[in-house]
């Protein structure tokens, strides 16, 4: 199995590139945002628990998020692997993910980070904001804060997997096809 973490700051192109990787390698794309929407929308016990925290403006505990991830993985036993988008974001989440994978007799194959300069990210998000309707894509101050939060909070996750020899950076500038080819080289390396 190929179990990938696709990593990168807001505007790096994770969603766009994940879609291509899913098709090429027959992987299941797992986005934490989608997990939350599914569990809350279907009023599952985990969804209710997550909503109770969110309604108070609190962070959803890692064990709830990992429980949702476990449900998704167990509901799709016949896939060739997973591509995780938006998780893990912290070292405790990385440790919980590794424990979950270990429980299933699997492991994370590789974390691939799309490396894009901050100024490029700002321009991409401002451009996306013109059509996305997302208010957080229209304000440069908010965009820069999102990038800073990403850098401070999630960079340790890259280092965590680097210590296991599983982290790689892919230059996220160029045509969509060129970036996709770079990502595929990393995935193909994992496949052997």
- Mean per-residue pLDDT for 40-58? 89
- Span 3-47, pLDDT tens digits: 999 999 889 999 899 999 999 999 999 988 888 889 999 999 999
**Token couple for 142:** 């908010």
- Mean per-residue pLDDT for 52-67? 86
What was the pLDDT predicted at 164? 96
**Token couple for 80:** 């060739």
As a whole number of angstroms, the distance between CA 108 and CA 101 comes to: 7
What was the pLDDT predicted at 56? 84
- Mean per-residue pLDDT for 115-143? 90
As a whole number of angstroms, the distance between CA 97 and CA 92 comes to: 9
What was the pLDDT predicted at 30? 93
What was the pLDDT predicted at 53? 86
Ranges of each domain in the chain: 2-116+154-191
Q: Supply the mean pLDDT for the chain.
A: 91
- Rg of the chain's alpha carbons, rounded to an integer? 17
As a whole number of angstroms, the distance between CA 108 and CA 103 comes to: 12
What was the pLDDT predicted at 115? 95
Active site residues: 14, 89, 128, 134, 146
- Span 148-179, pLDDT tens digits: 888 888 889 999 999 999 999 999 999 999 99
pTM: 0.88
Instruction: Give residue 116's pLDDT band: very low, low, confident or very high (50, 70, 90).
Output: very high
Q: Is a pLDDT exceeding 80 seen at residue 104?
A: yes
Instruction: Give residue 89's pLDDT band: very low, low, confident or very high (50, 70, 90).
Output: confident
What was the pLDDT predicted at 136? 83
Fold for 2-116+154-191, please state it: Rossmann fold (3.40.50)
């Amino acid at each position: 199995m190929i179990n990938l973490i696709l990593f990168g700051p807001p505007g790096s192109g994770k969603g766009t590139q994940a879609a291509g990787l899913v098709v090429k390698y027959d992987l299941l794309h797992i986005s934490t945002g989608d997990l939350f929407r599914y569990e809350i929308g279907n009023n599952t016990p985990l969804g209710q628990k997550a909503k109770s925290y969110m309604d108070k403006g609190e962070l959803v505990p890692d064990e709830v998020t990992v429980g949702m991830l476990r449900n998704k993985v167990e509901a799709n036993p016949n896939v060739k692997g997973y591509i995780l988008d938006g998780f893990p974001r912290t070292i405790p989440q990385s440790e919980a993910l590794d424990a979950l994978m270990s429980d299933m007799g699997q492991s994370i194959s590789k974390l691939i980070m799309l490396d894009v300069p901050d100024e490029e990210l700002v321009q991409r998000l401002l451009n996306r904001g013109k059509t996305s309707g997302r208010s957080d894509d229209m304000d440069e101050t908010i965009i820069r804060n999102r990038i800073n939060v990403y850098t401070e909070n999630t960079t340790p996750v890259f280092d965590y997997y680097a210590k296991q020899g599983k982290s790689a950076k892919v230059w996220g500038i160029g045509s969509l096809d060129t970036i996709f080819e770079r990502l595929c080289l990393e995935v193909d390396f994992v496949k052997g």
